[in-house]
Amino acid sequence: MNPLTEYQNNMTRRQLLKNSTNGLGAAALTNLLSGTANAANDKINTPHKVAKAKHLIYLFHNGGPPHIDMFDYKPQLIKMNGETLPKSFVEGKRFGAMTKNIDAATMLAPVEPFKQYGQCGAWVSDLMPHTGAIADKLCFIKSMYTEQVNHAPAISFMLTGSEMPSRPTLGAWLSYGLGSMNVNLPSYVVMTSVSKGTSCGQIFYDFYWSSGFLPSQYQGVKFRGGGDPVLYLSNPKGVSKEIRRDMMDGLSQLNQLKKNRVGDPEISTRISQYEMAYRMQTSIPELTDLSDEPQHVLEMYGPSVKIQGTFAYNCIMARRLVERGTRSVQVMHAGWDHHNSITTELYNQCRDTDQASAALVKDLEQRGLLDDTLVVSGGEFGRTPFLAKNFNTPKKWGRDHHPHAYTTWMAGGGIKPGITYGASDELGMNVVENPVHVHDLQATILNQMGIDHTKLTYKFQGRRFRLTDVHGHVVQDIIA
Amino acid sequence: MRNIFVCDIVILLLLTVGLSAKEKKIDFDKDIQPILSDKCFHCHGPDAKKREAKLRLDTFEAAIAKRKKGAAIIPGNAMGSAIIKRMITDDQDDIMPPPDSNRHVSKAQIELIKQWIKEGATYSEHWAFVKAKSPKVPVDGKDWARNPIDNFIYKNLIELKLKPNAEADKRTLLRRLSLDLTGLPPTPEEMAMFLSDKDPQAYEKQVDRLLNSPHYGERMAWPWLDAARYADTNGYQGDAARTMWPWRDWVVKAFNKNMPFDQFTIEQVAGDMLPNATSEQKLATAFLRNHMINGEGGRIAEENRVEYIFDQLETVGTTFLGLTLNCCRCHDHKFDPISQKDYFSFSAFFNQTPINGSGGSGQTAPTIIIPPAQEILTKQQNILKTKQDKLDALTKVLIDEFGSLAKAKSNDIKWALLKPLKAFAQHQTLVIGKNSSILAKGEIPNNDNYTILAKAPKKVSALKLSGLRHESMTGGGISRSNSGNFVLTEIKINLIREGQRIPVKIHEAQASYEQTGFKINQAFDNKKSTGWAVWNGKPFTQDHHAVFVLGKTFLFNQGDQLEIGLEHDSKHARHNLGHFSIATIGEIPVAGIAQLFKNHKVKINSKDDFLKKNKEFQKLQKNVQNQKKAINALGIKVMVMQDNQTRKTYILNTGLYNQREAEVTANTPESLFHLPKGVKADRLALANWLVSKENPLTSRVIINRFWAQVFGIGLTKTTENFGIQGERPKNPELLDWLSSKFIDSKWNVKDMIRLMVTSTTYRQSTNFTDKKIETDPYNRFLARGPRYRMPSWMIRDQSLAASGLLNEEMGGKGVLPYQPAGVWAEMTFGKIRYKQDNGNKLYRRSIYTFWRRIVSPTMFFDIASRQFCEVKDKRTNTPLHALVTMNDTTYVEAGRALAVRVIGEKSNAAKIQKIYSLLLGRNANEQEMKILQNKLQKITGKYKQNPKLADEYLNVGEYITPENSNKIEVASLANLALMILNLDESLTKE
């Protein structure tokens, strides 16, 4: 008997009983009934609505990218460069403890000029020429706002809907709700990078890909920036593939004997999980082997595409994962925390992310994957339009945390291309049109994946939890 | 629709189980409350703010209250009750729960509610909030039962028509018992002894042996560390290390000495407040300080402080009370009768410590210093003694030297007055007096410069300028300025030899007094703007002197002259010296420049100064100081509790630190029982309340977790939630009986564990039958023995023990066993790197592994995050786990050590049997042996073809394979041993 089939049968029956008493969400249950992981057919049951996207790639920029230096073009800010911050813009607003002496703050113009791109005429900074060049494929949301002013809570808020650490992350919810499409690869993968020489990188806590109270198989699998992409993936030294196969056969046979003797269905699951581990030992090296990529594709991503642990490498890996059926990929790039490095490190950050982000969108499109894949790019908050340091020392110029308005872009996955949604005021300080709260963005992402954010729930501590807590509205206007 | 269908099946199943005895009335708490709570209370429950239509269904009075469209519940009249009408209506606008609420009441559930209303709609209190009464032990299963646990279990099995399994064979039983009580497998010797023991109490003897093993405490401690979110770092940015491990050792010791659980609780929650608290009792309170600490730059201290308190109270709430208090941070509880006010009143117990939330140190006060182990201390103190002896010896020599110097030289100091040949100024007239003093007369300019010319003495090492008081000066002072004070901005000394002027350099100087900002050194710094002055705010009562030591001792020739220039260029008007003299000395006393002041009764070079100038002395003194510091650092700083504040506590709107609402005082939740009257409501009162006989929760919550530890799943599976939304226990009478027994036993933990593992229930075999899987797939009713995959830490410990590598040393600083390179560095941008330990430390039990909070030890899986309180085991089954146990160096090496351990056996079969007995406590059967032999042969064949591979395999891990061994044989057998370590049976407690 094919152990996989039996595994699914066993899984289905066991999980069914378990879930019915656990009171799992409808989404998960429906999928379990139809078989979660089936590489042969494409029947991913989406219980709530037709899915526009099957995959999510979240390019997460930890640290707070400066929206006014990158996407949110403010001529008035340029005019007011060096002038004192008008009080009316910040009265009653909360800033981080690092923002001191707000009354004496001076306005700081974007550090580079902006240009208009494409038919949509979106303004994009010269820092981001490649992103500018694909502006017609993107939907810029310039009215994002959040409730958190510090990194860890704000990133948690963005990824889990709660500022508390260790709640289930977006990717975990998607795996839980929609299941996997490839039994040989994890359905939720996380990769991280940081620009060389970054002085203030935000640490990647493992709760940024936590499954929280969801069962731990939904936790993101972190691909590492060096060595084996998955921990413990390689055979120990001195064990060939053939020797390992002998061991696997022995394990399987002995476990089967045990199963026959004791009758515990869990043993069948164990047998199949060991087999999958063995298959991953082949499928992941195959995944990370870039030798089958055409030269022009590699070039599109930029010079560091072949270096494991860079943003460009992680981008092309995201495409390869999606191509193979991985549900969600979270690519995180740290170091956007420019309290005193807006004229120095910001340039490196943009250099290291601009080209590869744009390449990823183009690459997905060229392969016909963009329709099925939702790409989201943004951070946990923006940065202040005013200066954090002395105006007379440009080398130390910086901006502080700014939760009241920032920019995120989306592409593919049934989102309208070439549009800008929402707006901040003339200084990029506060949202003045079509505000999009973090929970709204989350609701919209789930919507595109075919999930009603109010219905994907998990009962924990007696309460039904959601990614969007008790909030969130789908931003209908940006849906194609 | 499918899911609804499934739910119904389950409900019906429950109905048949729950209502098998026909006469039985419907029990609100058991049958109805769970439905109402889950489907209705969210909008019609205790949370007043979110209550819809002002309708409340969680109390009888509210539910039967008259309403416009009729009461929600009319006792006896189901179809007349609005609640039923609204549940069965076809009107999509009217139906309850609303379709968009994602809640659905099944037909079976509606039937139940109808029946309950017909029977009178009696409400009763939630079972867990009512003190457990010790129920009568059923008479069922008399012949089967060994103790009352079995009677309760058997009664349920009769109702389910299930027959219990027979007793497991002795080998299985001892392995199960050893793993459950110590987390380690039995040794072959222990197994042999048990098998040959024909005493009817043989099993009980093993139970006692294992309960008395020091490894028992280590096993019991792990889940407690999960609940207490114990870790060796702070978490968050920087993730600084902390030294809380003495507390971890305290927990192990407490379990081992069978500290009564009430004491265990009181000491951890309020040990510091006990009368004459010992340092061990204070140490126990580190339990509360194990929370994360956020040192992120942008954090507001008060925000942190409030977070820490939330964490402390929620940890206590979950660990002891099984309550989800965290729900009430922002609003009244949706299901349980706990209000937001209750939450903040509870927080007041923790609000009186000096902790202010600032800083990111892992040793934030209050702390207690735990002295290091005596042997370490003695060793370091001996080193200190050697260093101190050296210093003392030198000090003695130097003091002697100083004494003789001071004696010999102090009388020899003879200043020779310089007799000026000429003295002139730019503006004033300088008059040379009889005693060679010089007096300024005439006009009083704002600034003036003097030149004094004298015959050079034969030998000059230093020169003294004395400002002398004079009646013609202001206030009898030294100058004709407004105060009598002067500012000497520059002194210049020149040698005049054969018409040449040669500058003489001043090396250092001291003065009898220096006015603030006018140091003597400023009189020879080549700056006109600075200088020496002597004003101390009072009239002059003494002369002032400055001694200038020259760069070397000058020997002057006949005819040489000294020219001394005194400049007064300061902005202070008229501050020119008015009366002064100059003297010289040939040789400076060995005791130093200050000695020159001896006859002026100013600063005298002290013994200490003399010592300090000696470089060797400095070095030795530093050595001693450093060693003392090192010894101090050996004391381990542990964060503990201390109350020394009288902070007011407020309800915080949505839990935000800066949004204060009404003031509250320390109190326990009002719907539970009250603190005793007249008791001061502080943390100690809270601790006593937790383990009071009146407390309905603590004993149940704790005993349920011990049960889960032994039987794999709690009597109520929601170990973290005993509230209304928690699962009603499968065997509530048993839980109540156990919890009463626990209290009656004076909270004797070992007795309770003994009771569980000596029950017939526990001793059953684990064999599954189709009927049992069908009726009770999760073995909640225990018609068979528990069979579960062990926690990952236990799998690791078992591998170390079976391979003989295990280092049984207990306690101490966390260790760093094998972990793939670069994991910490990648997470922290290279700021923190993993420095793997070597040798014996690699083989310590898992509980001693250093726990970095932002990236947990990678060799474990399905573990608590240790970021906040967790009281439930995770037990998933994923390929990633298989990768760890097949490829982690720890396991590969253990397999190899296991192979070496058995290599001396005569045949392959014997070797394999030895591995089986070490790991599984049994022999492989014939079928298994055939497979094992076959695989060993195949693997051996492959290594023979490629012997280099075998070499490589023997180099994984630090363990050294004996040199004379056959490498191919060891490598092959090691692979087989690794395979056996990965068997489902090895990973499983059964």
What is the SS3 string spanning A326-353? CCEEEEEEECCCCCCCCCCHHHHHHHHH
- Considering only the beta carbons, identify the residue of B296, B828, B949 that sits closest to A152: B296
| Residue B654 near chain A (CB below 8 Å) | no
- Specify the pLDDT at position A17: 34
As a whole number of angstroms, the longest Cα–Cα distance in chain B is 136
Which residues in A335-452 belong to E strands, given as ranges?
373-379, 382-383, 401-402, 406-412, 419-421, 423-424, 431-433, 436-437
How high is the ipTM of this complex?
0.74
d(CA B308, CA B361): 14
* pLDDT tens for each residue of B169-185: 999 999 999 999 999 99
pLDDT band of residue B719 (cuts 50, 70, 90) is very high
How high is the mean pLDDT of chain B?
90
Give, as one character, the DSSP assignment of residue B166: P
Residues from chain A contacting residue B820 (CB–CB below 8 Å): 227-228, 231-232
Residues whose CB is less than 8 angstroms from the CB of residue B855 and which lie 6 or more positions away in sequence, other chains included: A206, B823, B824, B827
pLDDT band of residue B405 (cuts 50, 70, 90) is low
* Residue carrying the six token digits 């007239």: B429
Residues from chain A contacting residue B767 (CB–CB below 8 Å): 261-263
Q: What is the mean pLDDT of residues B728-741?
A: 95
- Chain A: residue nearest B726 by CA? A462
Query: Which range has the worst mean pLDDT, A31-45, A351-365, B653-667?
Result: A31-45
Flag whether pLDDT at B888 surpasses 80: yes
Q: Do residue B721 and residue A461 have CB atoms under 8 angstroms apart?
A: yes
Flag whether pLDDT at A14 surpasses 60: no
Cis ω on the peptide bond leading into residue B97 (within 30° of 0)? yes
| Residue B987 near chain A (CB below 8 Å) | yes
A331 closest CA partner among A339, A346, A321: A321
Domain A46-226+308-478: assigned CATH number = 3.40.720
| Residue B933 near chain A (CB below 8 Å) | no
Query: Which range has the worst mean pLDDT, A235-249, B18-32, B433-447, B930-944?
Result: B18-32
* pLDDT tens for each residue of A357-383: 999 999 999 999 999 999 999 999 999
d(CA B750, CA B757): 10
Q: Do residue A462 and residue B952 have CB atoms under 8 angstroms apart?
A: no
Residues from chain B contacting residue A251 (CB–CB below 8 Å): 979, 982-983
- Specify the pLDDT at position B592: 63
- Specify the pLDDT at position B5: 42
Q: What is the mean pLDDT of residues B401-423?
A: 73
d(CA B730, CA B27): 15
- Specify the pLDDT at position B10: 46
Most confident stretch, A418-427, B14-23, B86-95, B415-424 = A418-427
- Chain B: residue nearest A226 by CA? B822
Burial annotation B283-300 (CB, 10 A radius, 16+ → b, else e): bbbbbbbbbbbbbbebbb
Give, as one character, the DSSP assignment of residue B983: S
| Residue B725 near chain A (CB below 8 Å) | yes
d(CA B226, CA B348): 25
- Chain A: residue nearest B336 by CA? A462
Q: Do residue A224 and residue B826 have CB atoms under 8 angstroms apart?
A: yes
Q: What is the mean pLDDT of residues B893-902?
A: 97
Helix and strand counts by DSSP (H, E) for chain A: 13, 17
SS3 of B208, please? helix
- Considering only the beta carbons, identify the residue of A21, A23, A166 that sits closest to B867: A166
d(CA B922, CA A47): 50
Flag whether pLDDT at B128 surpasses 80: yes
Residue of B935, B978, B990 to mutate, interface with A, max A Cβ within 10 Å: B935
- Considering only the beta carbons, identify the residue of A21, A226, A464 that sits closest to B826: A226
Q: Do residue B3 and residue A221 have CB atoms under 8 angstroms apart?
A: no
Nearest 10 degrees: Cα torsion B45, B47, B48, B50: -90
Q: What is the mean pLDDT of residues A223-232?
A: 88
- Specify the pLDDT at position A201: 65
- Considering only the beta carbons, identify the residue of A203, A216, A240 that sits closest to B874: A216
Handedness of CA A333, A211, A325, A226 (dihedral sign): positive
d(CA A379, CA A65): 6
Handedness of CA B479, B485, B490, B495 (dihedral sign): positive
* pLDDT tens for each residue of B184-198: 999 999 999 999 999
CB B475 within 8 A of CB B443: no
- Specify the pLDDT at position B633: 82
Flag whether pLDDT at B392 surpasses 70: yes
- Specify the pLDDT at position A1: 33
- Specify the pLDDT at position A200: 67
Q: Do residue B879 and residue A273 have CB atoms under 8 angstroms apart?
A: yes
Single-letter residue type at A467: L
Q: Do residue B827 and residue A250 have CB atoms under 8 angstroms apart?
A: no
* pLDDT tens for each residue of B495-537: 999 889 999 999 888 888 899 999 999 999 999 999 999 998 8
Flag whether pLDDT at A15 surpasses 70: no
Cis ω on the peptide bond leading into residue B366 (within 30° of 0)? yes
pLDDT band of residue B658 (cuts 50, 70, 90) is confident
| Residue B894 near chain A (CB below 8 Å) | no
| Residue B512 near chain A (CB below 8 Å) | no
* Residue carrying the six token digits 């009171």: A23
Q: What is the mean pLDDT of residues B747-760?
A: 98
Q: Do residue B768 and residue A224 have CB atoms under 8 angstroms apart?
A: no
| CA angle (B241, B242, B246) in 5-degree steps | 140
d(CA B815, CA B836): 8
Q: Do residue A231 and residue B335 have CB atoms under 8 angstroms apart?
A: no
Flag whether pLDDT at A11 surpasses 50: no
- Considering only the beta carbons, identify the residue of A210, A226, A240 that sits closest to B822: A226
- Specify the pLDDT at position B596: 67
* pLDDT tens for each residue of B677-694: 899 999 999 999 999 999
Q: Do residue A97 and residue B300 have CB atoms under 8 angstroms apart?
A: yes
SS3 of B754, please? helix
pLDDT band of residue B734 (cuts 50, 70, 90) is very high
pLDDT band of residue B4 (cuts 50, 70, 90) is very low
Residues from chain A contacting residue B861 (CB–CB below 8 Å): 216
Q: Do residue B296 and residue A150 have CB atoms under 8 angstroms apart?
A: yes
SS3 of A58, please? strand
Q: What is the mean pLDDT of residues B272-288?
A: 97
- Specify the pLDDT at position B590: 59
- Specify the pLDDT at position B586: 85
Flag whether pLDDT at B851 surpasses 60: yes
Flag whether pLDDT at A110 surpasses 70: yes
- Specify the pLDDT at position B99: 80
DSSP characters for B51-92?
-STT---SSHHHHHS--TT--S--TT-TTTSHHHHHHH---T
B473-479 long-range contacts, CB within 8 A, separation 24+: B473/B578, B473/B579, B475/B539, B475/B540, B476/B539, B476/B540, B477/B539, B477/B540, B477/B578, B478/B534, B478/B540, B478/B543, B478/B544, B478/B577, B478/B578, B478/B579, B478/B580, B479/B574, B479/B575, B479/B576, B479/B577, B479/B578
DSSP characters for A239-303?
--HHHHHHHHHHHHHHHHHHHHHH--HHHHHHHHHHHHHHHHHHHHHHHH-GGGS-HHHHHHH-T
Q: Do residue B298 and residue A273 have CB atoms under 8 angstroms apart?
A: no
Q: Do residue B723 and residue A152 have CB atoms under 8 angstroms apart?
A: no
d(CA A259, CA B984): 9
DSSP characters for B143-162?
TT-SSHHHHHHHHHHHHHT-
Beta bridge mates, B545: B466
Q: Kindly list the domain boundaries of chain A, sorted by start residue.
A: 46-226+308-478, 232-304
Residues from chain A contacting residue B888 (CB–CB below 8 Å): 232
Residue of A94, A232, A260, A340 to mutate, interface with B, max B Cβ within 10 Å: A232
Query: Which range has the worst mean pLDDT, A3-7, A304-308, B516-520?
Result: A3-7
* pLDDT tens for each residue of B338-354: 999 999 999 999 999 99
| Residue B986 near chain A (CB below 8 Å) | no
- Specify the pLDDT at position A36: 34
CB B928 within 8 A of CB B863: no
Q: Do residue A280 and residue B883 have CB atoms under 8 angstroms apart?
A: yes
Confirm whether pTM is higher than 0.90: no
Q: How far off is chain A from B76, nearest CA to CA, in Å?
A: 30
- Specify the pLDDT at position B363: 92
- Chain B: residue nearest A204 by CA? B827
| Residue B932 near chain A (CB below 8 Å) | yes
Q: Do residue B239 and residue A33 have CB atoms under 8 angstroms apart?
A: no
Q: What is the mean pLDDT of residues B249-255?
A: 98
Q: Do residue A274 and residue B949 have CB atoms under 8 angstroms apart?
A: no
Q: Could you report how far apart the first and last alpha carbons of chain B are, in Å?
A: 38
Q: Do residue B971 and residue A238 have CB atoms under 8 angstroms apart?
A: yes
- Chain A: residue nearest B975 by CA? A247
**Residues found in chain B:** 990
Residues whose CB is less than 8 angstroms from the CB of residue B405 and which lie 6 or more positions away in sequence, other chains included: B589, B590, B591
Beta bridge mates, B584: B416, B463
- Specify the pLDDT at position B342: 94
Q: Which residue has the higher pLDDT, A414 or B47?
A: A414
* pLDDT tens for each residue of B478-487: 999 999 999 9
Q: Spell out the domains of chain B, with CATH numbers in brackets.
A: 2-124 (no CATH), 242-370+644-747 (no CATH), 374-409+614-634 (no CATH), 417-588 (2.60.120), 887-989 (no CATH)
| CA angle (B844, B848, B849) in 5-degree steps | 90
Q: Which two tokens stand for residue B677?
A: 């009257």
Q: Do residue B826 and residue A216 have CB atoms under 8 angstroms apart?
A: no
d(CA B115, CA B109): 10
- Considering only the beta carbons, identify the residue of A206, A243, A454 that sits closest to B854: A206
Q: How far off is chain A from B567, nearest CA to CA, in Å?
A: 43
Q: What is the mean pLDDT of residues B895-923?
A: 96
Residue B651, CA atoms < 13 Å, CB-side half-sphere:
16
Residues from chain B contacting residue A33 (CB–CB below 8 Å): 2
pLDDT band of residue B928 (cuts 50, 70, 90) is very high
Residue of A36, A237, A244 to mutate, interface with B, max B Cβ within 10 Å: A237
Q: How far off is chain A from B138, nearest CA to CA, in Å?
A: 28
Beta bridge mates, A419: A139
Q: Do residue A18 and residue B874 have CB atoms under 8 angstroms apart?
A: no
